Amino acid sequence: MQSSFPTQALPSTAAPGAEPTFISGAPALPNPSTILPSNYPAMDKPPPVDSAEVQQWKQEVANSGISIPDIEPNNQGGCANNTAAAADSSRCWWSCSGCTAEKDIVECPDPLSWGLTYDDGPGFYTSNLLQYLDEKDLKSTFFVVGSRAIQFPAILQAQYMGEHQIAVHTWSHQPLTTQTNDEIIAELGWSKKVIKDILGVTPNMMRPPFGDIDNRVRAISLAMGLTPVIWTRTSPTSTFDTDDFNIHNGATPVQKVLQNWQNILSSASTLDHGFIVLEHDLFEESVEVATGYILPDALAHNPPFKIQPVVSCLGRSLGDAYIETNNNSTNPPPNASSTGTSSSATDGKTTAISDAGRLYPLDIQTLATTTLIVGSGFAFGLFAALRL
């Protein structure tokens, strides 16, 4: 791909053994050169479920005391291809109803507080975003795909040492409601592991790819010490999703993304609470829109937004974003007595949220040379994952 937006140098790099002084009790930074792809599952493919690591994580889930609902995995194809599941309110399937559970994080408590988030990286252009955030003294939450962490460990360390929050976005970016229990455990477990191997700390928040979460996925996530974070939804058809991901594949023009942002901006200004927006740092176009339009526009807003990582917008310290440094007395980790199953939908109805054109590549290195072929919401060839 011919770039019109040259990649920038990282705003800062840290030597192995550097101390993250901004988090009390955080271990020294590991040496990224010790991260060998051969020690991990194949990139961008669902990890095998028969490894010793997955067996250990399965036992930890069983020992957590958190009950996993007996819900069959969904078919690929989203709400339209799973009509019975979509209509079953007991599943609390966010993709089709906007249903959220007690522990889901979908907004910031304080008005005008923005939980800034970026998904799917680190990538080739994450350094450009980091440079801009550093210049403007902004901090964000990055939901990291494990396969990308293997590919860009130095960038992940720069994100962490730049005092941004790091959170889990699975290993290979699968729609989790279509996966078996063991497959979900493998997706989350390997992402947690590689992040800890690179940073020395383990995130305690996750975002399901595509927002694809139901009560089974929630329970497994919580049993693995991961609290789900989605994004704000104000009506059956209105979510705080810029759709910036789809600029790259041509499914959404830049003008539409900018209009989406203006709609978010108008709605956010009227809320009696804060908000969380879905954006991405994997593709050049998404980063250009963020740094060239969305963030400058947000910084100029009057009254001003308080732009911060999700953990900060919840009134917690950055240390509370990681299992090793979390203050368990003030921010108790999930357990069997704290994972209530009560849920609510925006309007009590089952309403599909259509993102049929959203696709995730199996190999980031093919992005520059592979032409996307889309028909009726499905992708062919290498692009087989339907964005719900």
How are the residues of the chain apportioned to helix, strand and coil, as percentages rounded to the nearest 5?
Answer: 35, 15, 50
Residue with tokens 């705003």: 11
Cβ-contact 137, 161 below 8 angstroms: no
Q: Looking at the chain, which runs of residues are DSSP E strands?
A: 100-101, 113-119, 141-144, 165-168, 205-206, 227-228, 233-235, 238-239, 275-277, 306-308, 343-344, 358-360, 374-375, 378-379, 385-387
Q: Which residues carry out catalysis?
A: 119, 280
Sequence length of the chain is 388
Q: Which two tokens stand for residue 224?
A: 């693995």
Spatial distance between the Cα atoms of 278 and 132, rounded to a whole number of angstroms: 18
Of 241, 244, 236, 117, residue with least CA distance to 168: 117
Spatial distance between the Cα atoms of 79 and 354, rounded to a whole number of angstroms: 8
Task: List CB contacts of 322: < 8 A, sequence separation 6 or more.
Answer: 23, 26, 201, 202, 203, 204
Spatial distance between the Cα atoms of 218 and 105, rounded to a whole number of angstroms: 12
Q: Which two tokens stand for residue 98?
A: 């906007």
Angle between helices 52-63 and 181-199 (to 10 degrees): 110
Task: List CB contacts of 270: < 8 A, sequence separation 6 or more.
Answer: none
Of 206, 227, 231, 230, residue with least CA distance to 66: 227
